[in-house]
Structure 1
Amino acid sequence: MEVVKEEPDVKLECEVSEEMFVTDGIIQDTGTLSADVEEFGCLKCNKLFNCKKQLAQHKVVHLGVKKFSCDECDKQFIRNSDLTKHLLIHSGVRNFKCDECGKQFIRNVDLNKHLLIHSGVKKFKCDECGKLFVEKGNLTRHVLIHFGVKKFKCDECGKQFSRNYDLTKHLLIHSGVKKFKCDECGKLFGTKYYLMQHLLIHSGERKFKCSECDKQFKCKSHLNQHQLTHSGVKKFKCDECNKQFSQKCRLNQHLLLHSGVKKFKCDKCDKQFADKSNLNQHLLIHSGVKKFKCDECDKLFSQKSHLTRHMDIHLGKKKFMCDMCGKLFNEKGNFTQHLIIHSGVKKFKCDECGKLFSEKGNLARHLLTHSGVKKFKCDECDKHFSQKSNLNQHLRRYHIGNSFAEEVTVAIQNVQVG
């Protein structure tokens, strides 16, 4: 093993306690002393020291006794030196500044660790997933994820975490405190990490690409969630209707439908939605912007999902069949609406004449007859109609049929003359 000469007063870290110790002498790359220096070993973690005093200080870590308490936050420590370092946090003094990004630190050792991030060197690799880390401590905490050990539990919602750090971040959600604000849209976040991820949305950059469908995402976490849809695994099941989902967030959104709660209201038409994302999609209709174009017929749509459903018409896909009358539909929404007709239920009533309708859309079209507005004009006779369906009926009954009869009569006359 390679032996490296170190300068005096080199700080070493105990692999068990992650505490830092000062040593003199020749240090091996494993962190233990070389054979030409007298060794004092810890029986708990096999850590080696070059003097009894350092070993004695280190042994206190394994005793677990924390007799030094912080008057500010009641946090307890094994050694007085650790308490002294901790008190610097409450002082708010950050004398050590990173020249790369301007971030400031309370201790020089924290600054040195931070500088490793800018170096780009990640020499600690996870054997399970191959992920690389700058610090060994980060790798150690990461490995807990693969073991499935989640010993840190949230008392508010019961959610469990493998790291205390993650639990601490999670608790900010319940606290309601959101001190990190986006300068672009004013949205507030409980942690700086969530703010940084949110800022990627405003940048417009989508650097995370799905290898399955080429869809791109602004955040890696969004890509990871999306890739679950390709796996085919749907382990989240709705207890109400047994529908299954690949992502828990999709299940949570779906459950709002069963709750009947629709707290997101459209300012344009008063339509209400259970989920904010559905409201945002709906607002595109009112914006008038239609950027999704059908290559077959040039029809434009405000949402990509509407274009996708429309394409089924050109492909001849009609996978929803009515058992009552055999009629086929290419969209589930239209099929569901059609079934209401057979149910006989008519819960939409016209306040003008009392007529009942099975669908709200039919009532809306009917109300046009009372409004007196007739915007659909017949090009043959200039007659006006309040509904396009009435115009179509008129054309079939009077103009299309008559023109066909006239053509037949002319053809017969021509034959007789000949």
Structure 2
Amino acid sequence: MSFSANNYLANDSGDPATSSRNTGPVKIKKAKVDEDGSFKDVYKKEISRSSAINLLLYSTLCPFRFSRFYMCLYCTQSYLDMSELVCHTTTVHNAIGKKDLRRVLSRTGKSQPIKVNVIDYGCKLCDSVAPDFEALKNHLVETHKKEIDIANDGVMPFKITDKEYQCILCKETFVEYRFLNKHVSGHFRNFFCDQCAAGFVTAGRLRVHLKGHQIGPHPCTDCDKIFNTLAAKIEHYKRVHAKTKRNICKHCQASFMDYYQKKKHMKDVHGIKFNDFKCNFCSKIFLVSSALKAHERQVHLKNKKFTCDICNYQSHYKESIKRHVMCHTGEKNFKCDICKKAYARHSDQATTMPCNTEALTEHEQIKIAEVDDGLFNDVLAKQISRSSAINIILFSTVCPFRFSRFYMCLYCTQKYLEMSQLMQHTQKEHSGLGKKDIRKALSRTERAQPIKVNVVDVACKLCSTDIVDFDDLKTHLLTKHKKDIDLKNDGVIPFRITDKEYACVICRQQFVKYIYLNKHLNEHYRNFSCEQCGAGFVTASSLKGHLATHQIGVYQCTDCDKVYKTEATRLDHYKKIHIKTKKNICKHCQESFTDYYHKRKHMISVHGVGANEYKCSFCPKVFMVSSHLRAHERQTHLKLDTYTCDICDHRTYYKEAMKKHLICHSGEKNFKCEICKKAYARKRTLKEHMRIHNNDRRFACQYCDRAFIQKCSLKGHMKTHHKDVENINY
């Protein structure tokens, strides 16, 4: 029974304020419903809310909210099972009045239907039980004369027990609440999306949904990827970053894409025992309960929720239906640029690309893979480069890796301190991987990003031919085994790393650390160059990060009042001053220092803390910190001078020392005194000169009252006037 205009108009004018008191309760104006079912009239919303209040007040319906638990609408109690919530509502809130009920419902929007559980259709006024929900509403309207709009009753009915999730409107059953909730929302499609025709209960949900269709640059906050729509960005974040942040092993901090992989890792690597989940219909055992539920529903219960509208094909997964529908539509949106064939799926096109590149002659392959000014501008060049990398990894013993403080496996989350450990792990765990598995692992990196590989003891997996170096390996695979490898753009960066050596494969130069070798290789793979300083980089993202250091502007330090012209100088200041002082704090007096050496020296001299002495293996020198010992041995005894002057062949272990040395050749004097206009090559020399103008006589003689601006003047004074004094300390 719906409300009629005569029942709800107080007078002919339709103004509730002028209604007669003798007509009973104040009636509400009948609202028109638009064709799309939207609640656009405020009176219609009021009628809907009044109907909901009367249903809750005079029937045994149980209102609830849901957010991981079934929550009471009247208080803050929450329960795992609906039966517990029903028991709580009937015992605690059974006598709630209309005024209290309206106040509780005021927390939700008037256009938002109230979720109710309707296990039994009982009437509180006469203790009768209706056969269904519609009969209950008709009973309250006709028998007890309660104001309820049958069409828009303001509630969203569910039938939830501990074993069943059923839709009241169409009697369909589901295995979880979230599936039932999504289905029931389809019956209350008050607001529609014009682009994808999705329906929503409230305008708020529609507004959130419409943001997913907004076209524009949506960069991911956790990585460098950019997406056209907000929905694509959110989907990427949920699949990649949110899952890996949630699924972290508490024993080794390794991250995983899902809970199953994390649990499997903890069982295999750390030996932790978990409860097994056995199937009730067959002998299969599963590691997680969700996998067991999916197996039982799909295999034994045949609970296929998604159906094709054309051929009635059914599937347990929504994505399977989407792929199946392509068979009927005939759409082929993915086209091969080489042979012009079109495919319905992107995966089919990617599978044929290696076949097409193999059909090309060597001259055609190299022609396609030509690089203009070191830039990977051609999509085919990137594809051939990646295909070459896959073939090199697949048919040789090179060890692919990533590096971030540790040597990390390209195929899994394992990481090691030594490269030899990673090579043993790769050989043992991933030696039998196929082309599909390798391609999947490499898909996590950009196609323009070469893959880092270690080429120590490199060999061919297809035969026992002796391989001298990495170039011979590529030529061998191309000529003898006819593998698709572009010799010019092979898609890899070769390293030669052992526990004692860091060597460049291209120029044979050796380094003392991985970071120096990695930086050096940018000179050989200058795919992207900086126009301002000429620095070369392997990828565009590395160049973007570098270009930010050249941007001129006002960059203020967040920890002090200093302001810098470039971001690079601000970061350098922050690292040298604030980060180091935050790390190097004396635990006895809380004094901070710029480096560990000065902190250690302070603790020994002031607090009497015992010092660890590091003795040189070649001479009797002793050092306070191990890094000083290593630098001393490499520079003094091993003669490992990393930096060489191009003009006079002067060599040094430190980059800063080389910069200071080059000033001797350039003759530049960029530091000028504003008082006497003298210019100096170094800022330190200008500071020493400014003492003359400031009359800063900091070097005082301890035997007379003379003081000097420069230390050399004090030395000359001591030799002239106090030459009889022994053991002079300057």
Q: Which has the higher contact order (CA 8 A, sep 6+)?
A: 2
TM-score, length basis structure 1: 0.37
Based on CA coordinates, which of the two structures has the bigger radius of gyration? 2
TM-score relative to the length of structure 2: 0.24
